[in-house]
């Protein structure tokens, strides 16, 4: 498999596609900024891991999917859910722990799910979702339903043993799963070169005969192209691929991490030169698909959606106390 070089694919996206990607990525960014603000106001508690900077990965991958294909990820999950079509209202209300949230307030930021959108969470234990995603793919093959499961994990998670146990089974049984490692270069305060003997994570599948590809995760079109290749291959019964998305998180690991382990210059450089939203914006304006004013109108639309979600998330009532003892077992 040839190495993907993002930029050369950019031209292949149509006007409508680019505008859609712009809108989807902007929704994630504005949503996350607002979530950060609500956290600062004490309306969101616990852990809250923002996805700002990584938006092109989920938006590009989602564009490679068909309806019914599954997605599973870890705790940095707000972007994945919005990209999968879950509503801003439902996600924000879960962040505030209210009854209008996707888990009716019982899961919080790290644990949301939607059967309707085939989003399987939302998992807090680093690496655990990789085996679960492999199992979703096992079920797809078992049922011969033609579905593919996207299984996301981080560069830090790439060191968990169950990732490799899963790789082996997925390749052995040619399961329809695509592994996406979101290499944002840090696991909490640990830069990848301090934790990994092989830092080119797309090579981590080699000994299982899983082909890997390094992808510019800041370029939504490059992501989509790589995603399409991997998803098609999985759907055709040829087994898993491992896509390494080179990306970056702008914010700290979670809300209260001042991120002293990296320089301000490094972060500023990423924001200034590699921002995924600026990138797609430039593709749009360079091609004359839209004017600055058209894009401003989209901004306003997105802002309205996000504001509404913040209001909804504060007005939605607390879960009823009876919720404490429901959903523990299914009546049998």
Ligand X SMILES: Cc1ncc(C[n+]2csc(CCOP(=O)(O)OP(=O)(O)O)c2C)c(N)n1
Binding site for another protein (CB under 8 A): 29-30, 33-34, 36-43, 45-47, 52, 94, 97-98, 103, 105-111, 123-127, 156-157, 159-161, 187-190, 194-196, 253-258, 260-261, 300, 303, 307, 310-311, 314-315, 318-319, 321, 323-325, 328
Q: Find where tokens 């993002």 sit.
A: 6
Smallest distance, ligand X to C-beta of residue 283, A: 26
Smallest distance, another protein to C-beta of residue 104, A: 8
Residue 125 binds ligand X (CB under 6 A): yes
Q: Of 21, 64, 15, give the one whose Cα is nearest residue 226.
A: 64
Choose from another protein, Mg ion, ligand X, none: what does 103 bind? Cβ within 5-8 Å by kind: another protein
Member of 24, 77, 94, 155 binding Mg ion (CB under 5 A): 155
Query: Is beta strand 177-183 parallel, antiparallel or unpaired with respect to 186-187?
Result: unpaired
What interhelical angle do 220-235 and 55-62 show, nearest 10? Answer: 40
Q: Which of residues 222-251 bind ligand X (CB under 6 A)?
A: none
Q: Which long-range contacts (CB under 8 A, 24 or more apart) does 7-12 make?
A: 7/216, 7/219, 7/222, 9/219, 9/221, 9/222, 9/224, 9/225, 10/219, 10/221, 10/222, 10/283, 12/221, 12/225
Cα–Cα dist 203/55, whole Å: 24
Smallest distance, ligand X to C-beta of residue 154, A: 2
Smallest distance, another protein to C-beta of residue 124, A: 4
What are the residue ranges of helices labelled H in the chain? 6-9, 15-40, 55-62, 78-83, 88-95, 128-143, 161-172, 220-235, 264-274, 276-286, 292-315
> 152 pairs with which residues across the strands?
180
Residue 187 binds Mg ion (CB under 5 A): yes
Member of 121, 154, 239, 252 binding Mg ion (CB under 5 A): 154
Residue 192 binds Mg ion (CB under 5 A): no
Query: Which residues, other chains included, contact 43 with Cβ-Cβ below 8 Å and sequence gap of 6+?
Result: 96, 313, 314
Residue 253 binds ligand X (CB under 6 A): yes
Smallest distance, Mg ion to C-beta of residue 295, A: 30
Cα–Cα dist 302/321, whole Å: 34
Smallest distance, ligand X to C-beta of residue 216, A: 18
Member of 124, 168, 199, 267 binding ligand X (CB under 6 A): 124
Query: Which is nearer to another protein, 47 or 138 (by Cβ)?
Result: 47
> 71 pairs with which residues across the strands?
119, 150
Number of residues lying near ligand X (CB under 6 A): 13
What is the DSSP secondary structure assignment for residue 185, as one 8-state letter?
Answer: S
Q: Respond yes or no on whether the N-terminal peptide bond of residue 58 is cis (omega within 30° of 0).
A: no
Q: Which of residues 132-171 bind ligand X (CB under 6 A)?
A: 154-157
Member of 10, 151, 184, 316 binding Mg ion (CB under 5 A): 184
Taking CB under 6 A as the binding criterion, the range among 100-108, 163-171, 181-189, 301-309 that sits at the site for ligand X is 181-189
Residue 297 binds ligand X (CB under 6 A): no
Site residues, ligand X (CB under 6 A): 76, 124-126, 154-157, 184, 186-188, 253
């Amino acid at each position: 498999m040839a190495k993907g070089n993002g930029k050369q694919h950019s031209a292949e996206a149509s006007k409508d596609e680019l505008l859609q990607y712009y809108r989807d990525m902007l929704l994630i960014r504005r949503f996350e900024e607002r979530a950060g603000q609500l956290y600062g106001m004490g309306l969101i508690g616990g852990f809250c891991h923002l996805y700002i900077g990584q938006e092109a990965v989920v938006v590009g991958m989602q564009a490679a999917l068909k309806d019914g294909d599954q997605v599973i990820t870890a705790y940095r999950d707000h972007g994945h859910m919005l990209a999968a079509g879950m509503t801003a209202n439902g996600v924000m209300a879960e962040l505030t722990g209210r009854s209008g949230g996707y888990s009716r307030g019982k899961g919080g930021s790290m644990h949301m799910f939607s059967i309707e959108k085939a989003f399987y969470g939302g998992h807090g234990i680093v690496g655990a979702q990789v085996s679960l995603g492999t199992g979703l793919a096992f079920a797809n093959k078992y049922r011969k339903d033609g579905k593919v499961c996207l299984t996301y994990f981080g560069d830090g998670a790439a060191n968990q043993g169950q990732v490799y146990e899963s790789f082996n089974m997925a390749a052995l049984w040619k399961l329809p799963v695509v592994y996406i490692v979101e290499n944002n270069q840090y696991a909490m305060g640990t830069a990848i070169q301090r934790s990994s003997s092989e830092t080119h994570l797309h090579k981590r599948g080699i000994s299982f005969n899983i082909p890997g590809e390094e992808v510019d995760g800041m370029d939504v079109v490059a992501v989509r192209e790589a995603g399409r290749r991997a998803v098609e291959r999985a759907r055709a019964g040829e087994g898993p691929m491992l896509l390494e998305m080179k990306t970056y998180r702008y914010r700290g690991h979670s809300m209260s991490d001042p991120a002293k382990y990296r320089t301000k210059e490094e972060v500023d450089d990423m924001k200034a030169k590699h921002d995924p939203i600026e990138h797609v914006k430039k593709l749009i304006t360079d091609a004359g698909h839209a004017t600055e004013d058209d894009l401003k109108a989209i901004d306003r639309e997105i802002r309205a959606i996000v504001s509404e979600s913040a209001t909804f998330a504060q007005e939605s009532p607390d879960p009823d106390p009876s919720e404490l003892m429901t959903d523990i077992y299914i009546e049998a």
